[in-house]
């Protein structure tokens, strides 16, 4: 099957599932096995396309589109696993839209050049940790946004369908901090493996560049959030602001810069 057709099928499958899972739609409130299994179908196609796009042609090909697509695939995978433990309601609809759009962006973007030093084991470990951290913080940012939306309509007699179909606020908040805790651990490991990689290649542990600055900034923001949660019981709007600030800093560390260089400047 030509890859163009597979990209189209994968993206459309995600978007069709997004419609089915959307708050107020049939898949939102079902608790049987079907809504837990369906994401595996487009996810299988997605992982196949990612493998061809990132590892095809020798080396590791990482650009804005493949990075975004990889984060989306890991986000879908995380939700697919979490759905067996938690009733996620309409949350999966938002994830499927993100994944469908990410696949479409990858389909129309040229394949990036192979990354330098991509054969080094420490570089591969660094990438694996970074992608996992990105996906968890993407989920955390989504939850923060939905918590803000739910709080806004909390005291309305008839809340909008998009809010009524979501899990309870306490469930959203509990999932938010579990994702942040796991993401923070992976981000710490990402920075440590990045130090080892930089020292081996550049001869210095922390080269002064945008990745180092924004990566450390995001680590400090999430560290402060977790400390504030434990010591002062931070939640609600305070937790939302800190989560979104840390996520934006993390985006600027890699994906945001890639977007500017590749999409806006064509470099």
Q: Is the model's pLDDT at 266 over the cut of 60? A: no
* Same domain assignment for residues 79 and 199: no
What 3 state SS string does 74-106 have? HHHHHHHHHCCCCCCCCHHHHHHHHHHHHHHHH
pTM summary value: 0.84
Enumerate the β-bridge partners of residue 114.
61
More confident residue, 168 or 208: 168
Domain stop point among 115, 145, 171 = 115
Enumerate the β-bridge partners of residue 61.
114
Q: pLDDT grade, residue 12 (50/70/90)?
A: very high
Would you state the structure tokens that stand for residue 239, as one six-digit string?
């937790």
- The pLDDT, as a whole number, for residue 258 is 60
Domain stop point among 72, 94, 115 = 115
**How does pLDDT run across 159-207, given as a tens digit for each residue?**
677 776 777 888 889 889 999 999 999 999 988 888 777 666 555 656 6
Q: Which residues of 240-266 are buried (b: 16+ CB within 10 A; e: fewer)?
A: bebbbbbbbbbbbbbbbbbbeebeeee
* Same domain assignment for residues 111 and 122: no
The mean of the pLDDT values for the chain is 84
Nearest 10 degrees: CA dihedral of 226, 243, 146, 251?
A: -140
* Same domain assignment for residues 138 and 257: yes
Q: Provide the domain count of the chain.
A: 2
Quote the domain boundaries for residue 106: 1-115
Q: pLDDT grade, residue 140 (50/70/90)?
A: very high
Q: What is the mean pLDDT of residues 200-223?
A: 77
Q: What are phi and psi of 88, to 5 degrees?
A: -90, -5
Q: What is the mean pLDDT of residues 30-56?
A: 89
Q: pLDDT grade, residue 244 (50/70/90)?
A: very high
Would you state the structure tokens that stand for residue 84, as one six-digit string?
């067996």
- The pLDDT, as a whole number, for residue 4 is 87
Q: Is the model's pLDDT at 137 over the cut of 80? A: yes
- The pLDDT, as a whole number, for residue 208 is 64
Q: Is the model's pLDDT at 39 over the cut of 80? A: yes
Q: What is the mean pLDDT of residues 219-225?
A: 96
Would you state the structure tokens that stand for residue 79, as one six-digit string?
């939700």
Between CA 38 and CA 195 the distance in angstroms is 40
- The pLDDT, as a whole number, for residue 263 is 53
Other beta carbons within 10 angstroms of residue 113's beta carbon come to 11
* Same domain assignment for residues 72 and 176: no
* Same domain assignment for residues 16 and 59: yes
**How does pLDDT run across 70-103, given as a tens digit for each residue?**
999 999 999 899 888 877 767 889 999 999 999 9
* Same domain assignment for residues 102 and 187: no
Would you state the structure tokens that stand for residue 142, as one six-digit string?
């989504």
* Same domain assignment for residues 254 and 133: yes
Between CA 12 and CA 96 the distance in angstroms is 10
CA 217 to chain centre: 18
* Same domain assignment for residues 105 and 130: no
* Same domain assignment for residues 244 and 264: yes
More confident residue, 167 or 227: 227
* Same domain assignment for residues 62 and 193: no
| DSSP summary character for residue 38 | T
* Same domain assignment for residues 132 and 235: yes
Domain stop point among 78, 97, 115 = 115
Q: Is the model's pLDDT at 115 over the cut of 70? A: no
- The pLDDT, as a whole number, for residue 119 is 64
Would you state the structure tokens that stand for residue 264, as one six-digit string?
């806006």
Q: What are phi and psi of 114, to 5 degrees?
A: -65, 140
């Amino acid at each position: 099957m030509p890859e163009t057709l597979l990209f189209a099928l994968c993206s459309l499958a995600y978007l069709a599932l997004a419609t089915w899972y959307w708050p107020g739609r049939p898949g939102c409130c079902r608790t049987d096995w079907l809504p837990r299994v369906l994401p595996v179908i487009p996810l299988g196609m997605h992982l196949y396309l990612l493998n061809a796009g990132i590892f095809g042609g020798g080396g590791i090909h990482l650009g804005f589109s493949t990075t975004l697509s990889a984060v989306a695939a890991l986000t879908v995978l995380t939700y697919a696993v979490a759905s067996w433990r938690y009733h996620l309601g309409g949350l999966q609809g938002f994830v499927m839209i993100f994944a469908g759009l990410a696949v479409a962006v990858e389909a129309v973007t040229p394949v990036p050049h192979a990354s330098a030093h991509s054969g080094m084991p420490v570089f591969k470990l660094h990438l694996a940790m970074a992608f996992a951290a990105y996906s968890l913080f993407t989920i955390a940012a989504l939850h923060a946004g939905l918590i803000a939306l739910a709080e806004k309509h909390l005291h309305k007699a008839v809340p909008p369908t998009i809010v009524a179909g979501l899990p309870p606020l306490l469930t959203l908040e509990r999932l938010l901090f579990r994702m942040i805790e796991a993401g923070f651990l992976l981000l710490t490991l990402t920075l440590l493996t990045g130090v080892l990689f930089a020292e081996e290649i550049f001869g210095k542990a922390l080269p002064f560049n945008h990745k180092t600055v924004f990566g450390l900034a995001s680590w400090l923001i999430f560290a402060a959030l977790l400390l504030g949660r434990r010591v002062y019981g931070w939640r609600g709007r305070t937790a939302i602001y800190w989560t979104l600030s840390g996520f934006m800093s993390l985006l600027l560390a890699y994906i945001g810069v890639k977007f500017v260089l590749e999409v806006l400047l064509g470099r």
